[in-house]
Amino acid sequence: MCTVCGKWFTKNAHLQHLKLHSAENPHTCTQCGKCFTTCSYFSQHMNVHSGKYRCSECGRCCPSNSDLRKHKRTHSGEKPFECNVCGKRFADSGNLMKHSRIHTGEKPYKCHVCDKVFTKAGSLYIHMRIHTGEKPYKCSLCNKTFSQSGNLQRHKRSLHSNIKPHHCPYCGVRFVTKQHLKYHLVVHTDAQMYSCRHCSVQFKTEFQRKQHLLESHNEGTWFACHICEKKYIHHCLLKSHLLRHEGVKPYVCAECPKRFYTATSLKSHQLVHSDYKQFICGLCNKLFKGKSAVQTHFKKCCTLLEFDC
């Protein structure tokens, strides 16, 4: 068993797997710079550059024939694997297995440093960078570094391009990623996808379930302030809280002397200095600067429509 992520392997496979945590990647692709722990992974990757397994529909190159078969299902719409809880369908069994953990709450991958648990091995691998301090992804515009490539892309879109392609069909609020929109949509629906495995109480978001597990079943890890002992569910919330004890406001407005504890607070404040109205009402198309303004307006719009009917 791997002492880092808890996965089980044969002896030889275990030695290869440990290279993932030690960052030992002896096989490097000269074409794109990607590194691999084993010769077999490297060989599969080279198939992408050679075009050996190329999709006839869109031209995408896959590392193996099995990956190509899975990819072709995106064109045919074939999703043979169905979740027996919510009925959602998937193109391959691996995605179904990962999805099923939403309903069971199973998190088999555990961090050996802080005991935080994860549903996927990849999530644990990325989480370990919190403890190692590794931030391999760097913004070419402001030199800020990130532990995940996705965070870098979101940073570029939100701060350097201000592009938010995903908008809510109910209230018009726009989001940088489809996942953020998905989290927001639960505000407008009654869907409760997350269940507690101890008492079967259901929740709209994973954050609500995590809070319930900590408060009702003492499962998980609290992040406690060493000054006032206030507890938080996520380490990022504790980090923001500690800044208030220190009196540090690291985020400064470029237009006025105001300072803020968090980047989110600064971003909300900057709307005061801008004429840009990024939020649109999904009912009447009226534009607003702030999220709270459009949400308040949307409720009024709904009330008026009901009255007219």
Contact status, residue 290 vs residue 279, Cβ threshold 8 Å: yes
In the DSSP assignment, the letter for residue 226 is T
Mean pLDDT calculated for residue range 224-251: 83
Residues 6+ apart with CB under 8 A from 287: 277, 279, 280, 281
32: CATH: 3.30.160.60
- Smallest CA-to-CA distance from 180 within 164, 193, 202, 204 is with 164
Mean pLDDT calculated for residue range 193-205: 80
pTM of the model: 0.40
> How far is Cα 88 from Cα 79, in angstroms, rounded to an integer?
9
Is 46 in the same domain as 106? yes
Is 35 in the same domain as 95? yes
Mean pLDDT calculated for residue range 115-121: 80
Mean pLDDT calculated for residue range 79-103: 84
Is 33 in the same domain as 46? yes
The larger pLDDT score, comparing residue 51 to residue 36, is at 51
The answer as to whether 181 is a domain residue is no
Is 18 in the same domain as 123? yes
Is the predicted pLDDT of residue 70 greater than 80, yes or no?
Answer: yes
Mean pLDDT calculated for residue range 155-168: 73
- What percent of the chain is modeled with pLDDT above 90? 0
Is 37 in the same domain as 118? yes
Is 117 in the same domain as 151? no
Instruction: Please state the length of the chain.
Output: 309
The average confidence (pLDDT) of the chain is: 77
The answer as to whether 90 is a domain residue is yes
The answer as to whether 292 is a domain residue is no
SS3 157: helix
Contact status, residue 263 vs residue 251, Cβ threshold 8 Å: yes
Is the predicted pLDDT of residue 209 greater than 70, yes or no?
Answer: yes
Is 50 in the same domain as 151? no
- What percent of the chain is modeled with pLDDT above 70? 83
> How far is Cα 174 from Cα 278, in angstroms, rounded to an integer?
7
Mean pLDDT calculated for residue range 237-260: 83
Is 59 in the same domain as 152? no
- Smallest CA-to-CA distance from 142 within 153, 156, 130 is with 156
Cα distances (Å, whole numbers) of residue 261 to 29, 71, 111, 164, 168: 42, 44, 29, 24, 28
Q: How many domains does the chain have?
A: 2
Q: What is the pLDDT of residue 308?
A: 56
Mean pLDDT calculated for residue range 55-59: 85
Q: What is the pLDDT of residue 274?
A: 73
> How far is Cα 106 from Cα 39, in angstroms, rounded to an integer?
32
